[in-house]
Amino acid sequence: MNIFRRLGLGSAAFGLDYGITNQAGKVTSPAVDAVFDLAGRKGVRVVDTAADYGDSEAVIGAHAPAAAEFLIVTKVNPDRIDGPGAARHQLEQSLRRLRQESVYGLLVHHASGLTGPDGDRLHDELLELKAAGMVEKIGFSAYTPVEVDAVLARHSVDLVQIPMNAIDHRFQAAGTLDAMKRRGIEIHVRSLFLQGLLLAPVNGLPDYFRPLQPHLATLRSQLAATGLSPLQGCLLFGVQNPEVDVMIIGVTDPDQLAEICDAAEQIADSRFDFTPYGLTDEAYINPSRWPANIRTGG
């Protein structure tokens, strides 16, 4: 399989200053065109967005001809589901901003939206939108294996987005990846770079992450001993998990995407045992738990 088919564009930086190491700010309009052009030529097909990502959807919509060949996944915010038809209304607004008639995937942005008091009604609405041809796949975004288990105990879905990376192995350890695959669920992984934390110089990280420095330094040195850069290591972690269908990667310019594509090609025959490097402390591996002064999302 073309490795680029397993990459997806994360568009948060199209509409927000996203990522703790992002010095460039929001992606410029010419850069968006160039990113779409390169992604299309490489065979990258999925674009991940959300109404909550600033004006990301509108930016994608402004480049609709370039985005036409991509599979767009967007999200509804369950906190704004205030009655029957609210999910449809949110999707219709997203489609207008995206300048699309339908999207590939529609996710509930927080898994709790499907397990709360209105979860059954929201799931029924998603099924109706799918039946109407407005979306091809429905699902949700989660932070933890417990959230995934809770939703799947109540509902059937087609697509789930979860965080995984070289130091966050929770979904593997809990057997959640295998459980989802047995149900035929498409799995998209975000936070592969942990908002840039896993690529930044270890000694240049915010003080909050100081307890992680020895752990990250050891991981870096062992990757280097195997001939792998931090970027290659991050990508290899995703590639080595066959359950992962798409790895969502955020970029701020075409040069970053080109670098990622080059790194992806270079690891085709590489192997690395990431098992010793998994952490469980969500204070570090879950961006939503980071202090507000460094948190930019999750």
Q: For 59-83, what is each residue's pLDDT tens digit?
A: 999 987 777 789 999 999 998 887 8
Domains of the chain: 3-289 (3.20.20.100)
- Rounded to an integer, the average pLDDT of 269-277 is 97
Q: Using CA atoms, how far apart are residues 126 and 141, in angstroms rounded to an integer?
A: 14
The per-residue pLDDT for range 97-147, each reduced to its tens digit, is 999 999 999 999 999 999 999 999 999 999 999 999 999 999 999 999 999
- pTM attached to this predicted model: 0.94
d(CA 273, CA 237): 9
Helix (H, G, I), strand (E, B) or coil at 166: coil
> pLDDT tens digits, residue range 213-262?
999 999 999 999 999 999 999 999 999 999 999 999 999 999 999 999 99
Q: Which tokens hold the place of 36?
A: 């779409």
Percent of the chain with pLDDT over 90: 85
**Burial group, residue 295, by CB count within 10 angstroms (0-12, 13-18, 19+):** middle
What are the CB-based long-range contacts (under 8 Å, 24+) for 119-125?
A: 119/154, 119/155, 120/154, 121/84, 122/78, 122/81, 122/87, 123/154, 123/155, 125/84, 125/85, 125/86, 125/87, 125/88
Beta bridge mates, 247: 7, 189
Contacts of 209 (CB under 8 A, 6+ apart): 197, 284
